[in-house]
Structure 1
Amino acid sequence: MKVDIMKKRRTVLNGKPFSIVDDLTKMDLTERKKWAPQVKQLYDSGTRLRFSGGKWRDSAGKSYIFVFNLTLDKKGGVQKTNFNALDACLSYLDKFSLDDVWRTRNPLSSGFTWTSNIDNIRCRLDFFLISKKLVNKVNDCYFQPPLQSDHHIVILHCDISIEPRGPGYWKFNNSLLLDPAYIDLVNSLISNYSSDPHNSNQNPASFWEGLKFTIRNNTIRFSKLKANDSHIYEKNLIKKIAQLESDSISDENLLRELKDARSNLHLLYKNKLEGIMIRSKARWVEEGEQNSKYFLSLEKRNK
């Protein structure tokens, strides 16, 4: 995210404006020299939130990867890291009063965001660095297994003010028509509604509207329960994968169990993405298209 875009895009955190600044260390040397003064200007004028990652670039623009703590942030392989890059990052943290929020919330825990299945090496290479003034506004920070990457997703939840919203416009999810349980539910609703003497005496228009209203209410309830079950299933899969990845796995059965869990999570995300693409009303979808951010933006625009 470039600085000129950041100036236009601000988010309100408990009534106060904060800029989200991407880490300039990911840019090459020329870009850093171009944007660094503006980032400093933003910081001096009140910027409060900065994000960074585990890659660091030296003055020549060469990229390095490091971990903060060899005991907690790395398992397997040679117990060493790039201390020059680490010192540069620590200086960056001190200069801008930043905090490694996941480590602050998990001071003695080992957590890993990157895994090498070949060498059985695990490292925490991905993290959020935020202003120390915002640490008390963080509700949660955790890792989530990736879909198509060797790096985990780092998720940060902050306490922000949210405007109350109404019920919104309900859209029927036609994938329910492939669910046998939903089909049985609708058949039962139609049968019960039709057999009710009060309903059978209505004129056709009133009967039809009443039946649609009954089906709609029960469909919403059914969809919420199904979505909740899917959410619980997803959380359990993520928890299972994280647990299996946190230990050194040598048993073939556990490796197969980890592979199956990842496959099930991939299938779940694939189904979610298909729904997003349908709701986005995109005019076409390329074969193998996986850019979920694009379809999410279209879906949001169409609401």
Structure 2
Amino acid sequence: MPCPANLSDLGKPQEWRSHAECRQTACVTLLEPAHFCVSGETTHSAALQQTTATTEYDANAAARNTVRSGAACDLGAQERRREGVERAGRLREELGEGPVTGIEGRLAYRFAKRAFDVAFSAAVLVAFCWLFAIIAALIKADDPKGPVLFKQRRVGKGGETFQMYKFRSMCVDAEERLAELRELNEKTGPVFKMAEDPRVTRVGRWLRKLSLDELPQFINVLAGDMSTVGPRPALPAEVATYNDYQRQRLLVKPGLTCYWQTRRNRDSITFDEWVDMDLLYIKKCGVWADFKLIIQTVGVVLTAQGS
């Protein structure tokens, strides 16, 4: 039975394929046999898998890492891969099989979540207006030619796009330079990440380290485009590459913080793991879960563990 063809089918009860079948995998190494249930029958599959090159992005990353690491780093690389496979296995076991249904039927939680978003975002915008002014002055002093705010179209709940705000942390021509840096991408999947991105300004590097570049997104939270907690908003070009399994991220509003953002080792997390974390949040979200994620995020920010 195929995965849902469109977003409106995602919450409907139906036969469901495994995580591995839903993903567009080009090269998979099976590490350990396991079982899972599909359409009421027990079938053999792999609970733990190592995806070596799921897309062209993964292929670039794999080739680049091979060149950089050298033979002396083989043992360390194998250990990191083993840890990643084990982590992915635990995530999939906790996530389980079956569709993610979102929160449409949970009226009390939806009301409480929106009420908190409005109150919290308004309080932050008022209480830290002085910090906004200081950051704006620093950005202008560092790069007078560019704007203070960076505006970009992102994809929200149900695939609707909105304009997201951030403090500008990159040079003015950052988008134009992305193509020449694409082959240096250090993340798997459609997301682009570089530890030493040359497009980041001096002030921008500091803002990112403290996660202060995200502060203007409280405007999006207040407007209702985003929530305080939820999957990070993706670019339209990234969403265009999603398969049906990954599109389930769009069942809820995107958020300022999520499971991935609170992980101190998040640079080692693959895109597939990131998606699993988001779907696990959607499946188990609640007032207490949101509160814990907010507290964990504060800890990451205070210890300068930002991107």
TM-score, structure 1 normalization? 0.25
Quick check: which has more Rg, 1 or 2? 1
* More contact order relative to length (CA 8 Å, sep ≥ 6): 2
